[in-house]
Chains A and B, each alone.
Chain A
């Protein structure tokens, strides 16, 4: 009898340990915040589950009506990262995405949530993929200081936009209507539209020039947008950033437009 109860106790302890190790002990670290997956789960069920689904596979109740489709966390491929293409994001990348939202998608900014709550959500999102247990995030990409924008830089960026075939997806004038646009799919085979640069000054993963530069280096994993880290130099990427800024018709205050009009 005592052997039996001892066995039960050992099994229970093992399950508890496994449960903790596998999921609920998952933490996130964002600045001085330590996110907790257990708390994050409750928040996920309140805010996220209807799009991203109970299992984090992007198959929530609302997924069918959303374009683009919600992220599948089980694949551990995230659009907005500071780490190289194909690598895991930093906790702060996920935190920033939750905070900022993803423009032109169903993902709003969750900045009204507490900072601790957002960190807890990051911890829980990481439990959906074993990759976060098995791998470490990549090293953040380096972003050199931005050179002053100039007409020459914009001109070089325009030439790169043509020569690197950016236009084939994003269109000649950046409206997201290039010849390849209609056939693009994300990594799960769902149709996906290229970003319309003329829609305003805000981009998928932020609205600063550094954000745009970073996207060119990291690419947007899970989408057809590749990394241009090896195909371009740092100066070329800044040239592209400066040119893309000019496509934004809503950019009223940016220095680039002043340069363009000079």
Chain B
């Protein structure tokens, strides 16, 4: 009964809020520019549909002869804000804590730790659009709780030589990932990440942060008129997107190709393959023992390759994603490449596989129900003494997003999510499985 009451109360509060915000018109940049609602480009924002992906691939142009800024009212300002106030609860069943709080010498023990409260996810600013016909730009500063970072900043020359198959981008940008990390529908600490994008095996010292991070470099890309066929090839600095060349002077390469096709009575189906090949330093030049930024050397290679699909069954859709990862033996064991003798006996290059399935049910543009299951499995540990399953990971999430306000001026979503992750052998003392749970409810809005 109390639960039922709380649900009723929650909906009443939402209703009251909607009454208040019904006339609150805000202005997401592209919706305002073209007079289109969020739902035109997003299956459920921020996740793009094929129309939105085409718009993005066209350099944020609709191609209707109204893309250049000269057609806009001088008062138009291509900027958008997004923030997410929420309440969340986090639980870790084997959190390492000092046995006497405040005393590091007291020894680490494991406790079940729960935290909860109201919180804020920071603020994204996105300024994007066209400087001129076929010249597009994107700048995304992010204000976190204690820092400001430039998540992305790039310029793109679109439709070079009059062909949509040739576009050149330079700057800091999100790789053309199979499923965009930046556009995850989930917000909670545990479920919002695509772990496979960031996974490093136990003991691994690869400085590469993962294909889920925006990278610094150039990208050549192209696509068909309906975006059913797409490709992108990027060459990026081996600094994992960090500015100031902090680690390395080498370059990594990423490529992604996908093809979509129509299946009658089901919808669009898409398949693709991707690969990232890179190098990471194993040691640095030092001064007084301190590594000098940008002098990384003893570079060793790694790669991530895989395939993926996006499948529609009417209003259901689901992503399937597979990744195969490999790190060189020196990276996997955290040993400088000039100190081969210090490698553990029988050391090998770590290899792992992973993947996820993420499903959405989108009955109307205002509702989306989300579920995700993700796993990683170590196939070969870098150090043969490590337990074979150490680092394996299983996580699942369920949630929904409701979009009570979706106009050409603003978007507001109410979201509830629950995520669960089990990380094999990650408990710091017992080396048993660490299990974390995360619940989040809150607003996600942009204007």
Chain A residues engaging chain B, CB cutoff 8 angstroms: 42, 45-47, 49-51, 61-62, 65-66, 101-116, 199-200, 202
Contact = CB atoms under 8 A, between A and B. Distances in A.
24 contacts: A46-B365, A47-B36, A47-B51, A50-B35, A50-B36, A50-B407, A51-B36, A62-B36, A66-B35, A102-B64, A105-B64, A106-B64, A106-B66, A109-B63, A109-B225, A110-B51, A111-B226, A112-B50, A112-B53, A112-B54, A112-B227, A114-B267, A199-B65, A200-B65
A64 B348 CA distance: 66
A200 B268 CA distance: 33
A255 to B, nearest CB: 17
Interface residues of B, number: 28
B34 A46 contact: no
A46 B225 contact: no
Nearest to B32: A65
A127 B281 CA distance: 65
Secondary structure class of chain A's binding surface, majority of residues: loop
A104 B65 CA distance: 5
A111 B53 CA distance: 12
A58 to B, nearest CB: 12
Interface in B4-49: 34-37, 39-40, 49
A47 B40 contact: yes
A215 B225 CA distance: 24
A116 B264 contact: yes
B71 to A, nearest CB: 9
Contacts of A102: 64
Contacts of A112: 49-51, 53-54, 226-227
Interface in B255-273: 262, 264-265, 267-268
Contacts of B225: 109, 111
A109 B365 CA distance: 20
B37 A50 contact: yes
Given A102-B64, A114-B262, A116-B264, A65 B50 contact: no
B364 interface: yes
B299 interface: no
Contact of A106 (B35, B53, B226, B407): B35
Given A50-B407, A66-B35, A104 B51 contact: no
A107 B64 contact: yes
B407 A61 contact: yes
A111 B268 CA distance: 13
Given A107-B64, A109-B62, 19 more contacts: A46-B37, A46-B39, A46-B40, A47-B40, A49-B37, A50-B36, A66-B35, A103-B64, A105-B65, A106-B34, A106-B66, A108-B63, A110-B51, A112-B53, A112-B54, A113-B50, A113-B51, A116-B262, A199-B65
